[in-house]
Amino acid sequence: MEIEKPLVSVIIPTFNRARDLLRALDSVRAQTMNNWEALVVDNHSTDDTAKIVDQMRDGRIRLLSVHNDGVIAKSRNVGIKQSRGAYIAFLDSDDWWTPDKLQTSISAFERGADLVYHDMFRVDRTDQIFFFRKVRTRQVSHPAFKSLMLKGNQIVNSSVVLRRSLIDVVGFIDEGTDHIAWEDFDFWLRIAEKTEKFERLRGTLGYYWIGGGNTSGPERTLQVLAAIQNTYSAKIARWQDTPPAWMVFAKGKAEYAIQRMALAKKEFASIAWSFENFGIKLKSLVFRAMIFFRGAKMEKPDREKLR
């Protein structure tokens, strides 16, 4: 069945995830609203990805190809550029949705939202039957940019639906290699400079696979934090002279993970007590206690690794 003018365009980047892609597409086809198109943007997979799409014989699903050179933003942008819907939804090929996800999102847009998102169930195993743990989001408060910048990104990419018209204003997702692993956060920040209408939907409307395709790691985390600070330091300075507490804590955790204990301790100790930082400060104290009780040798900074 082909819809001449879809309401929602679902962008699904993928690479060698045929089985996962089948599950993701099945969840889109099971939606309670049918006025959608799905654009599968394939980074030249060598598995059965093309076969999966072809066997569905659904005119609402299109297969596009791209060489993204390891930059997933390129795949998403290809899908956006080929989209026809008034709304753009993002779905990673290893995640999937509940049947009411799109209808619930459209209802929020009818109330005036510009970007919507929601919690997702956390999936740790391929044979998982029960889902209790969640990847939790939080409501972006006013002003939206400040809320995101000072409290961090708690918007899950596969939960987001936004107005296509926003992209005409803010531009496409940044494809720079210095934005890898935080290009979505940068995108939300740019949108937050143009609208306050972020809405966190009630309910848990999807499933987030933890186990695959993760670009994170302590060294990558340090690179990402440095890139965020380099890009947004002047705007952060509107409100405070130091990096946000969540960034300092994340840096401390990364240093701890690669056994640079002196640097980790320094980062954790620099987080000030405040009402907004209370939870982060308590977690930093736990890490400082772990360093103390381990009796770890305080290492000197490895300048080569920090470059």
User: Tokens 């049947």 belong to which residue?
Assistant: 99
- Check: pTM over 0.85? Answer yes or no: yes
- pLDDT per residue over 275-285, tens digit each? 889 999 999 99
Tell me if residue 42 falls in helix, strand or coil: strand
Closest CA to 42 of 64, 20, 72, 9: 64
**pLDDT score at 214:** 55
- pLDDT per residue over 229-286, tens digit each? 999 999 999 999 999 999 999 999 999 999 999 999 999 999 999 888 999 999 999 9
- pLDDT per residue over 119-168, tens digit each? 999 999 878 888 889 999 999 999 999 999 999 999 999 999 999 999 99
**pLDDT score at 128:** 82
**pLDDT score at 48:** 96
Amino acid at position 150, single letter: L
Residue 3 has pLDDT above 60, yes or no: no
**pLDDT score at 5:** 84
| Region 53-69 average pLDDT | 97
CA neighbours closer than 13 Å in the CB half-sphere of residue 48: 9
pLDDT bucket at 294, cuts 50 / 70 / 90: confident
**pLDDT score at 267:** 96
Rounded CA-CA distance 79/13 in Å is 8
- pLDDT per residue over 19-40, tens digit each? 999 999 999 999 999 999 999 9
Residue 303 has pLDDT above 90, yes or no: no
**pLDDT score at 29:** 98
Rounded CA-CA distance 113/195 in Å is 9
* Percent with pLDDT over 90 in the chain: 86
Residue 101 has pLDDT above 80, yes or no: yes
User: Tokens 């972020």 belong to which residue?
Assistant: 198
- pLDDT per residue over 175-203, tens digit each? 999 999 999 999 999 999 999 999 999 99
Give me the domains of the chain, ranges plus CATH numbers.
8-209 (3.90.550.10), 218-306 (no CATH)
**pLDDT score at 215:** 59
**pLDDT score at 297:** 47
Tell me if residue 267 falls in helix, strand or coil: helix
Mean pLDDT across the chain: 92
Amino acid at position 72, single letter: I
**pLDDT score at 4:** 65
Using CA atoms, how far residue 31 sits from 61, 83, 98, 233, 288, in Å, is: 14, 19, 8, 42, 47
**pLDDT score at 25:** 98
**pLDDT score at 113:** 98
